[in-house]
Structure 1
C-alpha cells in the first residue's frame, strides 16, 4: 500500500470547504464553502518556498447568501451552483435560477449537498436535512422537465463519481459508512443494481473522485485521510492530511496529476482547532496517478421548465 502526505495551501481556512472541481479549459479550480455560502475560483501557482508541489491562489469569490453544496463547470463556460434547494447559473450579474426543488409536505428543511456531472453532462445533485434527519435526503437527476429522484431515501448525500467507461457510478451516503457502486445506464442517466463497494470503520466517506484507471479516491471525514480503492475494492493508497475533517478531493493541473483535497473547521472543538492549525484549508499532493478529464454540465442544448 502506498502512503503520501498532503501539504496545505495558501488560501485562508474556510468553514466547510468542499467540492473541488477542475475546469481543464480555463485551467482553473472551483470550490465552495458550504455554510459560508461562498464559491471560489482559483489557479495553481508555484510555492513561495520553491517546493515541488503547486500552491493555490484565489482569483475570485462569490457570496451566494445561502448554503452552496457544489459548483460545476459547464460546456458553455458558465458555472452552475447547487445552492439552497435551487440550481443557479453563475453568469455575469445576479445568479439566475434554472431549477428549484418542489416543496414537500413534511416541513423538513433541506439543502443540496454534493453534486457532479455524469460523462455525458447530466447533473446529479443530492440533498440532506439541515438537522441530518435520517432518510430525509434524495439523489436527483436534473432533467429538462425538472428534478427526477434516482436514489431515495438517503440521509447525507455525498460523493459521486463514474468509472472511465461510464458504466459504473460510485456514491456515498455518509452515515452508512460505505461507498456503494451502481451499474449506470448512460443512455438514460439511471443508476441500477446498488451494492457495497468499500466500508469505513474509522471516519465516514465524504466526497470522492475516480481516476483515469478507475481507482476511487475517497475523502474520509473524521479520519484525516483520503483512501484510494482499486476497482475490485482493494485498498491501494492512503493520503495523510493534517486536518481531521477531510471533505472531498479532485484531480487538477495541466496533467491532472495533482490531487486537491478540501477540509473543514466545522464540528471541531476549540482545543482541536488549536492542534489542527490548517483545518479548513485546501491541501495538495501528487499521488502517482492522473484523473479523468473533468465532466462538464451539458447546457448548450438543455432547456429547463422549472
Structure 2
C-alpha cells in the first residue's frame, strides 16, 4: 500500500472546514466552514514547487452551510440550514434564493444539511443529519428539475458521495456505520439499488470522499488523521497521513486534477488534542500520483 503525507496550506484554520470541490470552469477551489456559514474560494498556486491555496473570496451565509457546488449558470448551489439555496454573486449584495427544502418530521429534533454532490447528469444529492446526531434522524435527497425526492431515510450522518468513472456506481457513507457502501446508480433516472458494503474502516469513521479517474475511492477518516484510498474492488490502495485527527473530506484539484486537497476540523477536539495539533482546521495537500474526475455543475438551466 502506498504511504503519503499531506502538507498544510496557507489559509487560516476553520472550525469545521468541509466539502472541497474543484470548479473546473473557473479553475478555483470551493469549500465551506459549516458552523460559521462560510463559503470560501481560492486559487491553487505552486510557490516553491509545492501546491498551496490563495483565498480570494469568503461569503458568509446566515445559517450553517453543509456543502457548496458550482452551477451550469455560473451561480453557486449551497446546502445550507435545512434548504438548498442558489447564490447569485453578480449582484451588489449576494442574493440567496431557496430552490427547495425537504419536509422534515415534526419531532422537535433540530436538523441541518450536511454533505452534497452533483451526479454525472447534473442532479444534486444532499443529505441531512440531526445536530445532536440522533440515530436515524437524517435522510438523503435528490434535487433536479422535478423537485426534491427522498432517496434514503433513517440515515444518521449523511456524508461522502462520489460516483464511479462511468457513473453507474454511487459510493456513500453514513458515518456512524463505520463503512462506505456502494449502490448501483441509474444515470437516466437518478435512482439507487443494490446497496452493499464496499469498505469497512478499522478506526475512525468515514466522512467525505472522492473518486479518481481509475475508480479508486479516497475516504476522509474523521478521528483517524488520514485519508484512505481503496481500489474499485475495495482493497486498500493508499494511506495519506494528515496531522489533524478530524479529517473531513477531500477532492482532486488543479488544471490536471492531480492535487489532493484535504479539509480538517477543530470542532470536537478536546483541549489537549487541539494543543497537540496546531494545524487542525487547515486545508492540506498532497500529490498521490492519480488524477481526479472533473466536477459536474448542477444543471440549473
Whether the 8 Å CA contact 1:208–1:216 is kept in 2: the answer is: yes
Task: Tell me the alpha carbon deviations over residues 29-49 of structure 1, each in whole angstroms, 9 at most, x when there is no partner.
Answer: 0000001110001111133xx
Equivalent residue, structure 2, for 1:303: none
Equivalent residue, structure 1, for 2:110: 109
Whether the 8 Å CA contact 1:159–1:172 is kept in 2: the answer is: yes
Distance 2:36 2:27 in 1: 25
- The question of 1:31 aligning with 2:28 is answered no
Equivalent residue, structure 1, for 2:290: 289
1:99 Cα shift? Answer: 1.2
Equivalent residue, structure 2, for 1:191: 192
Equivalent residue, structure 2, for 1:40: 40
Equivalent residue, structure 2, for 1:71: 68
1:145 Cα shift? Answer: 4.0
Equivalent residue, structure 2, for 1:8: 8
Matching of residues 198-237 of structure 1 within 5 Å: 198-237=199-238
- The question of 1:259 aligning with 2:260 is answered yes
Equivalent residue, structure 2, for 1:280: 281
Equivalent residue, structure 2, for 1:140: 141
Equivalent residue, structure 1, for 2:21: 21
Task: Tell me the alpha carbon deviations over residues 213-244 of structure 1, each in whole angstroms, 9 at most, x when there is no partner.
Answer: 10000000001000000000000000000000
TM-score by length of 2: 0.97
- The question of 1:174 aligning with 2:171 is answered no
After the TM superposition, list the runs of 4 or more consecutive aligned residues in structure 1 that deviate by more than 4 angstroms: none
Distance 1:143 1:211 in 2: 25
Distance 1:212 1:101 in 2: 33
Distance 1:210 1:120 in 2: 16
Whether the 8 Å CA contact 1:53–1:286 is kept in 2: the answer is: no
1:102 Cα shift? Answer: 2.1
Equivalent residue, structure 2, for 1:96: 97
Aligned residue for 1:90, secondary structure, equals strand
Matching of residues 109-128 of structure 1 within 5 Å: 109-128=110-129
Distance 1:43 1:157 in 2: 29
Equivalent residue, structure 2, for 1:304: none
Whether the 8 Å CA contact 1:137–1:154 is kept in 2: the answer is: yes
1:295 Cα shift? Answer: 1.7
Distance 2:67 2:192 in 1: 21
Aligned residue for 2:278, secondary structure, equals coil
